Amino acid sequence: MASILSHRRGPFGLVSSFIGWGAAEGLTAESDADERPLHAGYGLNASLGLLAVAFAANASRNGNAWAIDIFYVGVAWLFLPLAYVAARRDASPRQRFAAVMLATVALYAVRFIREPVAFIDHDEFLHWTTANHILDSGRLFSPNALLPVSPLYPGLETVATAIVSLSGMTMFQVATCLLAACRLGFVAALFLAYRRLSGSARVAACGSLVYMGSSTFLVFDTQFSYESLAVLFVAAVILADARSRDVRRTSHVVFVIVPLLAALAVTHHMTAYFASAYLFGLAVLEAFRAPPRRFLVSSILVAAWAVSAPIAWSKAMGDPEAGYLGPVLASGVHEAANLLTFSTGRTLFVSENGYVAPLWQRVAALASVAIVCLGLSVGFFRALALGGLPFGRELIRRPGRLREWRNGSAILLTLLTLAYPVSMLFRLTKSGWEIGNRIGPFSFVGVGFVIAVGVVSLMQGRGVAWAGAFATAATVVLVGGIISAEGPRILVPAKFEVSSDSASISHLGIEAAKWSRRWLGERNLFAADRINRLLLSTYGRQDVASTLQDGYDTSDAVLAPTFGPRERELLRKVGLDYLAVDLRITTALPGVGGYFDGGDRDRDYRSPPLANSLLKFDTQPLVGKVFDDGYVFIYDVRALDGTR
């Protein structure tokens, strides 16, 4: 470090050297001709890491508390050597690419080991329901009460049902293959785009590895959920745009970028808006840069298409995300504003049901944030310089150079990192936590690039110790990202946990849902808690009542201490056929804050609901109890409606 800063004098000189103020524009070029492949031993090491992860997963299912620690050790074990070889000065571009792709495959295998036989994550059930509706009806856009916006953005489900129809495989098998293709395609596109933008395979490799520290990388963006597909489209658009500036711009725009943006518009709203903002920003940068502006017209046309396609689709679908995202965004912004005045906030590392993360996990999560911030401070101005926007004496001497950037994409990715602190702010709030989590995958596109530029600039001409330091830091960022998103819930526990999504999917609940399909038929309208309605709508093929769909919160009737006219009227209005009651929710506080939809009655619990509240249906003369497995009861409430 001392040698890096040695050519500057004084505190300002040291700081400006560290942050890259006035850094040179380029990085050392690498030869594409170097074709040395990656040593097969790295594959063997990764497989041993996976073995440790599988051991941890089974240990967790058997109730061993140390399983989580072994899991993270396994992840670090498989990742660290690959990060090291990808960052080494003497590695060939082929070795770097292979190391990044091997890390991607291994981390996807971690996801598979986590859920090897069936879907377990909440959002997967939502989209599985939409896909089932498409398969059952042979039509798109069938309503989905669990997530009404899902059928209106059917990109993922369309592809999945196409493969199911063609292959005869189950939805889980198809999802596993499809998501593997999306994940590999996404990381490959990111690597290749970084390489195009920086001209360095080393930057590309380091940037891709840093991106894997995004909190959504390991689990959320490999779920059977629309964002998992949408991020592939975005990365492909960034790659195609970068590529088109070197070769065949028109063909890329017409045959690649426009179709990808169209598909993105019908796949995921938030990602489509991110792509709109990115391409709009590129057009603005192109318009303001000093001549020659070779790509001005095409950039404006692409930006216009990128902005108009998602808006037009949203309007055509009835503007569904306003009611879906609007309240979350408003609440998150409100809480973030309160947070800035120290009025309110989320207690970090403490789950809704009171679980406190172990010390080492808290340290790792905070260290990962610190490393990212350090990396951004090192890389920000260097990345701007790489884009042709040098700060320092050159800028002071010739202010006109401020508009002479060559690489608008690099500059935009650098500016994108400003979203990272915003996402951190949102993550400190209760309502905005999800917003912060969702900003992550987009801000990290810039974060990966900027940190990689900064790190590679520092590492140029230096020994393997620097590569080792980078690999260690990248591993901490990866582990910290997983902890901040999943924490102790990364593995399925031995015991059922109340309203804790993947920890609440049990054989018992699945059997009850399957029973409903077999004995009651499909498409009956059920009311149930958050977990059982996921199972009923997928394994059971039932319709479920939800506040999102019809505005009625059936938890008011289910959790009420008595069953009076108000509760009866509520069930009558909803038009329920059956009611599924799970007595297990009386045993603990909800892991995600609510047992049902998180309505007025269903939040801020200090104790679990009373069993008597759930059993009040036993005394209703017109209510039949058609199913009992000791925990889950299914009540037939059709006769409560006097008209039926």
Residues 473 to 492: which contact other proteins by CB under 8 A?
A: 492
Residue 55 phi/psi, 5° resolution?
-60, -45
CB of 181: closest distance to other proteins in angstroms?
5
Q: Choose which of 23, 188, 206, 450 interacts with other proteins (CB under 8 A).
A: 188
Q: Does 400 bind other proteins (CB under 8 A)?
A: no
Q: Choose which of 6, 28, 47, 308 interacts with other proteins (CB under 8 A).
A: 47
Structure-block tokens of residue 184? 């590999």
Cβ closer to other proteins: 312 or 639?
639
DSSP E strands: which ranges in 145-300?
Answer: none
Q: What does 321-387 look like in DSSP terms, one character per residue?
A: HHHHHHHHHHHHHHHHHHHHTTS--PPTTB-TT--B--HHHHHHHHHHHHHHHHHHHHHHHHHHHHT
Distances (CA, A) of 572 to 39, 166, 494: 67, 42, 39
Cβ closer to other proteins: 83 or 159?
159
Q: Choose which of 8, 25, 61, 433 interacts with other proteins (CB under 8 A).
A: 61
Judging by DSSP bridges, how do beta strands 578-582 and 624-628 pair with one another? unpaired
Q: Which one-letter DSSP state was computed for residue 502? A: G
How far apart CA 218 and CA 109 sit, in angstroms, is 10
Q: Choose which of 173, 338, 347, 612 interacts with other proteins (CB under 8 A).
A: 173
Cis amide prior to 292 (ω within 30 degrees)? yes
Residues 583 to 602: which contact other proteins by CB under 8 A?
A: 583
Site string for other proteins, 318-357 (x = CB under 8 A): ----------------------------------------
Q: Does 241 bind other proteins (CB under 8 A)?
A: no
Q: What does 624-643 look like in DSSP terms, one character per residue?
A: EEEEESSSEEEEE-GGGSTT
Structure-block tokens of residue 199? 């001209």
Q: What residue type is assigned to position 399 of the chain? A: P
Q: Which one-letter DSSP state was computed for residue 581? A: E
CB of 367: closest distance to other proteins in angstroms?
28
Q: How far is CA 363 from the centre of its chain?
A: 22
Residues 100 to 159: which contact other proteins by CB under 8 A?
A: 109, 112-118, 134, 138-141, 154-155, 158-159
Q: Does 291 bind other proteins (CB under 8 A)?
A: no
Q: Does 316 bind other proteins (CB under 8 A)?
A: no
Beta-bridge mates of residue 579: 527, 635
Q: What does 339-350 look like in DSSP terms, one character per residue?
A: HHTTS--PPTTB
Site string for other proteins, 498-537 (x = CB under 8 A): --------xxx--xx--x---xx-----------------
Q: Does 315 bind other proteins (CB under 8 A)?
A: no
Q: Which stretch binds other proteins (CB under 8 A): 355-363, 472-480, 536-544, 625-633?
A: 625-633
Q: Choose which of 3, 7, 29, 37 interacts with other proteins (CB under 8 A).
A: 37
Number of residues that bind other proteins (CB under 8 A): 119
Residue 634 phi/psi, 5° resolution?
-115, 120
Q: Does 461 bind other proteins (CB under 8 A)?
A: no
Q: Choose which of 15, 26, 32, 421 interacts with other proteins (CB under 8 A).
A: 32
Between the two ends of the chain, the Cα-to-Cα distance in Å is 79
Q: Which stretch binds other proteins (CB under 8 A): 264-272, 436-444, 456-464, 591-599?
A: 264-272
CB of 322: closest distance to other proteins in angstroms?
22
Q: Choose which of 25, 89, 185, 550 interacts with other proteins (CB under 8 A).
A: 185
Q: Choose which of 1, 33, 359, 465 interacts with other proteins (CB under 8 A).
A: 33
CB of 84: closest distance to other proteins in angstroms?
16
CB of 463: closest distance to other proteins in angstroms?
21
Cβ closer to other proteins: 49 or 387?
49
Q: Does 247 bind other proteins (CB under 8 A)?
A: yes
Structure-block tokens of residue 358? 């172990």
Q: Choose which of 18, 20, 23, 53 interacts with other proteins (CB under 8 A).
A: 53
Closest CA to 358 of 605, 80, 71, 112: 71
Cβ closer to other proteins: 544 or 581?
581
Q: Choose which of 36, 398, 523, 566 interacts with other proteins (CB under 8 A).
A: 36
By the 10 Å C-beta count (0-12 exposed, 13-18 middle, 19+ buried), 566 is classed as: exposed
How far apart CA 141 and CA 520 sit, in angstroms, is 25
